[in-house]
């Protein structure tokens, strides 16, 4: 049988009309991101009820689902970064997590994340298919080519160079797409994978579960434009976001004849007044786990000589409060306005994090969601 990614994408596009991430009545898609790791988006000792315990996570997933949020996206993390909090040192594995979320919710998309070098494509394809059946067509997959060096060291693996990682990823997704769509067994003799009579049954409910990729380098963004349904990008300013979103969407359209969406992620600090929200932010910063934040920044490789191994200042603060996410801080009107600005920059969705997740999500649902409806962002 011929290669069927194009056919699969056409069928998938039809089926996805019911999918929350394609629901046109919600101009700005909303979800939660990084709830499955200790600290979430906050590298601070500031008190939070957030727990890496299933009871807590289950309630959060059900709460997000009941509020009508569109996606529940855990982070794939294998170890912490040290410091007083060992930020992200406790985490739930995302495939098994997504299966449990899928079984416990009704509408929200249940995402998992794979590290391409760690998950064989046959294993990943079948796992996501299983989640898609549990979820009756609500599985999503974030594909990561490899990232944090200490994690790969822990596995005893040496990461390939950046460009080659994406070449592996291209072959990986090609195999996954064939397993998701082709009925007949196929042999695959590629540069990185060699498969004999590869087959996987049943097929996913969606034909092609929604594929996410967070690459943002030219090579990463190109991979997303070619293979992903959504790119997952950091947000700095509305102008920079608009430029990035336009470029990625144009790339997908012009080079690959595809449409893709772009999502971002944000830490929300919303209180009755702007002053209270600023006070809450100040508390997170006052209680910062600077050692963990500095470790995280140097693992990311963005530490430069000018920061001298012990950075403070705005960039560091954005990592303590947000771990690199956009910071959305204010009273309900202010938070809604900032989300409107995110939508106006062309982004299709914002995946949110909080400090005290359950309590703050409930407040967000009560006070901000109605404003987003009034603003025409949510149906
Ligand atoms: C929003 C977002 C989510 C990400 N999620 C994960 C993750 O769960 N696990 C992981 O190892 N890397 C994750 N990454 C890393 C990316 O997949 C990618 O490797 C990184 O952004 C570097 O991009 P580049 O390869 O284009 O240079 C994430 C990045 C972003 C911006």
Whose C-alpha lies nearest to ligand 1, atom 5? Answer: 75
User: 3-7, 227-231, 328-332: which has the minimum mean pLDDT?
Assistant: 3-7
| pLDDT grade for 279, boundaries at 50, 70 and 90 | very high
187 CB burial (10 A radius; 0-12, 13-18, 19+): exposed
Cβ-Cβ contacts under 8 Å for 305 (sequence gap 6 or more): none
- At residue 337, the 3 state secondary structure works out as helix
Query: Over the stretch 286-338, which tens digit does the pLDDT of each residue have?
Result: 999 999 988 888 888 765 444 444 555 667 777 888 888 899 999 999 999 99
Minimum CA distance residue for ligand 1 atom 4 = 214
What pLDDT was estimated at residue 298? Answer: 83
Q: How many whole angstroms from 105 Cα to the centroid of ligand 1?
A: 26
pLDDT in tens, 71-129: 999 999 999 999 999 999 999 999 999 999 999 999 999 999 999 999 999 999 999 99
Q: Which of 259, 256, 217 is nearest to 234 (CA)?
A: 217
Name which of 105, 98, 82 is nearest 36 in CA terms.
Answer: 98
Distance CA 360, CA 355 (A): 8
CATH code, residues 5-372 = 3.20.20.30
Domain boundaries, the chain: 5-372
d(C-alpha 209, C-alpha 140), whole Å: 5
Ligand 1 atom closest to the Cα of residue 324 is: 31
From 34, 147, 216, 234, mutation site for ligand 1 pocket: most ligand atoms within 8 A of C-beta? 147
pTM, two decimals, is: 0.94
Output the CA torsion sign for 113, 180, 27, 217: positive
Gap between the Cα atoms of 119 and 321, Å rounded: 31
């Amino acid at each position: 049988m011929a290669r069927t990614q194009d056919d699969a994408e056409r069928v998938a596009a039809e089926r996805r009309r019911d999918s929350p991430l394609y629901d046109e009545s919600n101009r700005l898609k909303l979800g939660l991101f990084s709830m499955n790791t200790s600290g979430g988006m906050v590298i601070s000792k500031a008190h939070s009820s957030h727990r890496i315990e299933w009871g807590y996570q289950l309630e959060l997933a059900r709460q997000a689902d009941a509020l009508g949020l569109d996606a529940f996206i855990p982070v794939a993390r294998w170890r912490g970064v040290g410091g007083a909090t060992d930020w992200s040192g406790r985490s739930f594995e995302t495939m098994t997590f997504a299966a449990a979320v899928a079984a416990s919710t009704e509408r929200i998309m249940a995402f998992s994340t794979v590290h391409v070098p760690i998950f064989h494509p046959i294993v990943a394809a079948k796992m996501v298919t299983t989640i898609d059946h549990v979820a009756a067509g609500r599985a999503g997959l974030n594909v990561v080519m490899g990232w944090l060096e200490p994690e790969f060291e822990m596995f005893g693996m040496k990461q390939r160079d950046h460009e080659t990682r994406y070449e592996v990823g291209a072959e990986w997704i090609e195999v996954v797409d064939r397993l998701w769509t082709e009925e007949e067994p196929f042999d695959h003799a590629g540069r990185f994978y060699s498969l004999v009579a590869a087959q996987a049954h049943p097929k996913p409910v969606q034909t092609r579960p929604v594929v996410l990729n967070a690459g943002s380098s030219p090579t990463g963004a190109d991979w997303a434009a070619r293979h992903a349904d959504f790119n997952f990008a950091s947000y700095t300013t509305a102008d920079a976001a608009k430029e990035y979103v336009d470029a990625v969407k144009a790339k997908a359209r012009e080079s690959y004849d595809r449409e893709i969406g772009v999502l971002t992620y944000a830490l929300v600090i919303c209180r009755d007044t702007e002053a209270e929200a600023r006070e809450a932010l100040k508390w997170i910063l006052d209680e910062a786990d600077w050692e963990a934040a500095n470790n995280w920044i140097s693992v990311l490789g963005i530490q430069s000589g000018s920061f001298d191994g012990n950075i403070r200042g705005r960039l560091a603060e954005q990592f303590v409060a947000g771990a690199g996410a956009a910071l959305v801080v204010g009273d309900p009107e202010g938070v809604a306005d900032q989300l409107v600005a995110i939508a106006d920059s062309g982004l299709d969705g914002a995946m949110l994090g909080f400090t005290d997740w359950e309590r703050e999500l409930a407040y967000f649902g009560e006070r901000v969601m109605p404003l987003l409806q009034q603003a025409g962002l949510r149906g």
